[in-house]
Structure 1
Amino acid sequence: MLNTLFRPFERLIDPFRPHDDLTPPSGLVAYVWSYLRQVWPLFAAVLAVGLLATLAEVMVFRYVADIIDILTSSKPGELWAQHGATFISMLLTIGVAWPILVLIQSLLLQQGLTTQFPVLIRWQSHRHIVRQSISFFANDFAGRVASKVADTASAVRNTLITLSDTFLYVVVYFSSAVYMFLEADFRLVIPLLVWLTAYGLLCWRYVPRLSKASEEGSEARSALVGRLVDSYTNIQTVKLFADPSREEAYVREAMEINTVKWQVQQRLITQLDVIVNLLNIALLLSTAVLAIWLWSEGAITIGAIALAGALTQRILNMSGWIMFQVTSLFENIGTIQNGIDTIAQPHKVTDAPEATALKVGRGEVRFDHVHFHYGEADRAAIDGIDLTIAAGEKIGLIGPSGAGKSTLVNVFLRLHDVTGGRILIDGQDIAKVTQDSLRAHIGMVTQDTSLLHRSIRSNIAYGRPGASDAEIIEAARRAHAWGFIPDLRDNRGRSSLDAHVGERGVKLSGGQRQRIAIARVLLKNAPILVLDEATSALDSEVEAAIQDSLLELMAGKTVIAIAHRLSTIARMDRLVVMDSGRIIETGTHAELVHAGGLYARLWARQTGGFLAEIA
């Protein structure tokens, strides 16, 4: 039955609703509003019901004062006749209306807002982050980015809830206290107003300092998480190369910085606690003395004394709560501001406003005077490349490390945008087509094969969702991967295609990962194929076995292959030799060996000349 009550409220927010794919605002208020405006009716309902519930709570103090005055001024036999209607209204307000309002507020807040609202923020933040360019992820810790996506969403929710709670209680309680005190005797308001002034000055003094300390603390925590995740993600390198004390010092430094930042904040909080406590004692004593004096003068009733005492005590209890809320508020604001720096960065590689889907018929690729550099001060990584690859032609890219081969592939895939010139596929400028459609028509096997921590089935079918098990197994057989897949078993007992491969595929050998990657591309069957050191992780026997599969994969496709092991691409239709971002030689294997240039020297080294020279 309770689930039936909860479910409609849990569906008030659809976190995965369609939304504009815009860069989040970089300003704090604008950033929060960009998400709040999507759910503002629910938030307004929470505020409205909360206001009514808080007013009902305040009425308890008023009713206590009224009951005391009624009992001290009425005869027992006439009590019900004279005040029965008053007692019934009190009963209905406190016993019926107040619980119902609290129930509705809790359902709207806890079931409607608290759970789903952060999911909405995380989902939209993730969709923005995952569309960032490769350079965005190269310049930050993956763990740090993930931490900010998760923490910022919670901080936005907590900030809004804290603001609404604090606003409701401050406005309702303080305005009610002033009104009721004025109604009894205007002089009762004097201690409260003095206290409010001092409390406001205290907030004005400490809140900005708390805000800065909270932001710095949040940044320190994100940096700490980034270092921890960096160590855990690269645990094999850490174990093989790092001096344990050096690695511990690296993490310890971040922990010490994080501790110092939070100590600054806690010192401020302690100062606030002490000063607020002194102010509270002064308010309590001054209100009590004044109320008793006014009663002795006949200016107020006993009920008014009870009202003043109870309401003052409630305000004093709230003052500590409010200070805690303010502290929490600025911790969350610091987290949001820190998260905005990462989440609200605009995309560097974007689809053109009128981008259309790429249509590949023949598969001709043309690099038209292409330039690219990674930064204004850097030398050009690609310097005026002019290259046409005919439909179905297979070319090999060759050159020393740093020649620009992988960079040329990266701009072809639009992982970076060119800084000059253009790249065309069947006459279509890739800068004017959607990135998703571009990459859907290109299959790629990279040198550093990193698999998703999912099942073998999911990894192979990643480029072609919905493929049947029979198609997945056939692709695995063609990639010479089926020989080991049936024997795989993970720590949860899942086996074969259901076995999970671990983060980045660490449970598999390099050769096994490479064969899974090749199976994935075989299944995708895209018309353009890019091989970046595709067989580098395979031993000679497996490489020889898979060559036939690669030749089958390349049949009828336009192929760009990069390899340092020249024997693997010597049979390509044409070889393109690069150095320092330029094309310096083109031709078949035989032509380039005969020409005696860079390719001939590289070939001589790999076929014995280099070893002979060393000897």
Structure 2
Amino acid sequence: MLFHRFERIIDIFQSDPGKAPPNRVWPFYLFYLRQVWPSFAALLLVGLVASLIEVSLFSYLSRIIDLTNTSPATGFFSAHGAELMWMAFVALVMRPVFFGLHDLLVHQTISPGMTSLIRWQNHNYVLRQSLNFFQNDFAGRIAQRIMQTGNSLRDSAVQAVDALWHVIIYAVSALVLFAEADWRLMIPLVAWIFCYVACLFYFVPRVKARSVESSEARSRLMGCIVDGYTNITTLKLFAHTELEQQYARDAITDQTVKTQLAGRVVTSMDVAITSLNGVLIVSTTGLALWLWTHSLISVGAIALATGLVIRIVNMSGWIMWVVNGIFENIGMVQDGLNTIAQPVSVTDRPAAKDLQVRHGAIHFDNVNFNYGGDRPVISGLQLSIKPGEKIGLIGPSGAGKSTLVNLLLRLYDLDGGRILIDEQNIADISQESLRAQIGMITQDTSLLHRSIRDNLLYGRPDASDEQLWDAIRRARADEFIPLLSDPNGRTGLDAHVGERGVKLSGGQRQRIAIARVLLKDAPVLIMDEATSALDSEVESAIQESLGSLMEGKTVIAIAHRLSTIVKMDRLVVLDKGNIVETGTHQQLLARKGLYARLWQHQTGGFVGAD
């Protein structure tokens, strides 16, 4: 019950502040620490009391030695029983209680709770990033940074709190206790503190800089390895094992060198602090003995001074590694925030409304767009699509067909102009509602590494089994789904498909994608080579289903295989981001323009020219 209470203190799924995390280290820390400040305030308080208890035990040790030197053995316990009982209570009850509270706060509250909170909020923020964000980085590296940033931020924050109280309490208490015995005992400790702080000021920034470099190299290595695993088929097909090994070898070498450079600074700091600690032990113990020989301090004071100095020396080594760990973690956090804290380029406007599709009319009004370069990809494009009209987009590679579809889905924002759906500017409506009203079948079908059922229900999460199987049958996927199985013994709809659906053939993935869109039943349909992965027999069988799917919908179909879209209401030919021809199949053939040339190239050896 006690564990459960501490584990529920932090709500890991609490709403995030609704803004981008800061892109500087300390504001980034505060962004998350503010959300869990009661837990850290409690940790500070418990740490203060625990540190005071630790110091008091050394004071008790000195007191016991002095009492045994000045009090007769007979009647010792009766004379000092109350004081000894209090010491025992502190050691046996208070110390375990406060150290236990400290461990509960760290291991049950902050460690799991804060880490999961940071990961949850970072994951949600990164999911809102534009498509361009993911295209410019490795998926594995993004995932690693989300995972490591939560760990590193938590560890460095907890370590800083623990080190803070240990440093303050031990240093101040030692100085006070030494002053009570003899002010001269303070001299070695004060000198040591100045030298110790100077070492930290010199080494810590260098540790931090090297840690950032090491973390970046580790992220690059992770991205390299994940990239190879993700594209393992390409690696094997091109038989370049040695080339891939060299690619990984270079990344591992870079990461190893950066880690070794960071290790040099750590080793140098360790040697310097260890030397300082030796000077502190010798000078303090020697001075205490000298003062005792002149009857200026008691034997208990010698024990106190020696014990505290040894404890401070041990603590200084711990603090050195803690400080090193803190700044190594800060380096990882800085590496992570460079990815995580990037501003979202495609955002909903304040109070964005939901798209209401009543008819399905689409209008591209003077649309301009480029991908950040000088050459426009789409330039001054004007295109109106009537409600329920079926449009075929045609053009050579690089003409702008897929870009036009991506702009309609608002995967990118326009550089100029606007896109209207039923007179509603898509820039003024929420992205979620826009994409909920558009069904899309892509050429490169990618499935989630989940069950067939989960992939299909992405189209309509609340679909019944009857609706699910109706979509499966219409997509002709009922021929293979019952036969599927995975290594864990799951079969049929429960079988998992592997990363990006690699356990299925291209045609099977395509039929799952078609069934998913059939289930979604959105009023606007986009098909990008929807049947490209199907064999002729399956394509012929599924054309009827696609025909019923398109009924009553506004359809935009991209096709390189022109024979699949000749029956569309209108064909729109793009070239270099501009519309160069529009019309029906027969009208465009009669013009003997770009479409006629593309048609001739394809029909020359594959289909009849009629």
The answer to whether TM tops 0.5 is: yes
Give the 5 Å matches for 1:167-246: 167-246=164-243
Instruction: Report the CA distance between 1:275 and its aligned residue.
Output: 1.6
Instruction: Report the CA distance between 1:609 and its aligned residue.
Output: 6.8
The DSSP-based 3-state class of the residue aligned with 2:557 is: strand
Q: Which amino acid aligns with 1:17?
A: Q
Instruction: Report the CA distance between 1:141 and its aligned residue.
Output: 0.6
Match in the other structure for 2:489: 493
- Is 2:74 aligned against 1:109? no
State how far apart, in whole Å, the 2-side matches of 1:250 and 1:485 are: 39
CA RMSD, Structure 1 to Structure 2 (Å) = 1.3
Match in the other structure for 2:304: 307
Instruction: Report the CA distance between 1:317 and its aligned residue.
Output: 0.8
Q: Is the 1:15–1:116 contact (alpha carbons within 8 Å) kept by the matching residues of 2?
A: yes
Instruction: Report the CA distance between 1:467 and its aligned residue.
Output: 1.6
State how far apart, in whole Å, the 2-side matches of 1:424 and 1:547 are: 30
- Is 2:541 aligned against 1:541? no
Equivalenced residues, count: 609
Instruction: Report the CA distance between 1:77 and its aligned residue.
Output: 3.1
Match in the other structure for 1:412: 408
One of 466, 483, 496 as aligned partner of 2:462: 466
Residues 289-341 of structure 1 deviation map (CA, whole Å, 9 limit, x = unaligned)? 10011011111111111000111110111111111111111110100111111
Give the 5 Å matches for 1:4-403: 4-377=1-374, 379-403=375-399
**Unmatched 5+ stretches in structure 2:** none
Q: Is the 1:605–1:611 contact (alpha carbons within 8 Å) kept by the matching residues of 2?
A: no
State how far apart, in whole Å, the 1-side matches of 2:11 and 2:462 are: 26
State how far apart, in whole Å, the 2-side matches of 1:6 and 1:76 are: 46
Residues 477-530 of structure 1 deviation map (CA, whole Å, 9 limit, x = unaligned)? 100111000000001110000000000000001111000000000000000000
4+ long deviations beyond 3 Å = 609-612
Q: Which amino acid aligns with 1:422?
A: R
The DSSP-based 3-state class of the residue aligned with 1:245 is: helix
The DSSP-based 3-state class of the residue aligned with 1:576 is: strand
State how far apart, in whole Å, the 2-side matches of 1:20 and 1:332 are: 24
Residues 469/611 of structure 1: CA separation in 2 closer, same or farther (3 Å cut): closer
Q: Is the 1:576–1:586 contact (alpha carbons within 8 Å) kept by the matching residues of 2?
A: yes
Q: Which amino acid aligns with 1:486?
A: P
The DSSP-based 3-state class of the residue aligned with 1:153 is: helix
Q: Is the 1:604–1:610 contact (alpha carbons within 8 Å) kept by the matching residues of 2?
A: no
Instruction: Report the CA distance between 1:201 and its aligned residue.
Output: 1.1
One of 524, 527, 541 as aligned partner of 1:528: 524
Q: Percent identity?
A: 55
Q: What is the TM-score of this pair, normalised by structure 2?
A: 0.98
Instruction: Report the CA distance between 1:269 and its aligned residue.
Output: 1.4
The DSSP-based 3-state class of the residue aligned with 1:567 is: helix
Instruction: Report the CA distance between 1:81 and its aligned residue.
Output: 4.0
One of 562, 566, 590 as aligned partner of 1:570: 566
Q: Which amino acid aligns with 2:440?
A: M
State how far apart, in whole Å, the 1-side matches of 2:557 and 2:132 are: 23
Q: Which amino acid aligns with 1:504?
A: R
Instruction: Report the CA distance between 1:76 and its aligned residue.
Output: 2.7
Q: Is the 1:21–1:128 contact (alpha carbons within 8 Å) kept by the matching residues of 2?
A: no
Instruction: Report the CA distance between 1:276 and its aligned residue.
Output: 1.5
State how far apart, in whole Å, the 2-side matches of 1:453 and 1:112 are: 32
Give the 5 Å matches for 1:545-560: 545-560=541-556
Residues 20-53 of structure 1 deviation map (CA, whole Å, 9 limit, x = unaligned)? 2211101111001100100001111011011101
The DSSP-based 3-state class of the residue aligned with 2:35 is: coil
State how far apart, in whole Å, the 2-side matches of 1:386 and 1:542 are: 36
Instruction: Report the CA distance between 1:376 and its aligned residue.
Output: 3.8
The DSSP-based 3-state class of the residue aligned with 2:572 is: strand
The DSSP-based 3-state class of the residue aligned with 1:115 is: helix
Residues 121-165 of structure 1 deviation map (CA, whole Å, 9 limit, x = unaligned)? 011001111111111111111101111000011000011011011
- Is 2:434 aligned against 1:438? yes
The DSSP-based 3-state class of the residue aligned with 2:350 is: coil
Q: Which amino acid aligns with 1:606?
A: Q
- Is 2:592 aligned against 1:596? yes
Q: What is the TM-score of this pair, normalised by structure 1?
A: 0.97
